[in-house]
Amino acid sequence: MSDREQNQNEDRELEQMRNLLKSAVPPRIDAEPRRDLWPQVLRRLDNAPERVPWWDWVLLGGAIVAACAFPGVLPALLYHL
């Protein structure tokens, strides 16, 4: 094989390799959002809070009373939170 043929083969292999790499790597997409999302987060935070039913207040009160009556509950509860 002459030097010229060898160079042509190498160029062809390089071109194939370049095409393979291009097909394997996905095109770069701009990761930044198109608009500022913070106002949307603030709007959601400002939405009217969920109404708390009475039984949830009873549960919360019961848990607080139990924790006050048995303070040993607190370290174990903190350990699991």
Binding-site ranges for other proteins (CB under 8 A): 37, 41, 44-45, 47, 50, 52, 56, 59-60, 62-63, 66-67, 69-81
If the CB atoms of residues 21 and 48 are measured against other proteins, the closer one turns out to be 48
Task: Please give the single-letter amino acid code of residue 40.
Answer: Q
- Min dist CB 78 to other proteins, Å, is 5
Task: Count H helices and E strands in the chain, helices first.
Answer: 4, 0
If the CB atoms of residues 1 and 69 are measured against other proteins, the closer one turns out to be 69
- Min dist CB 56 to other proteins, Å, is 6
Q: What is the DSSP string of 44-80?
A: HHHSPPPPPPHHHHHHHHHHHHHHHH-TTHHHHHHHT
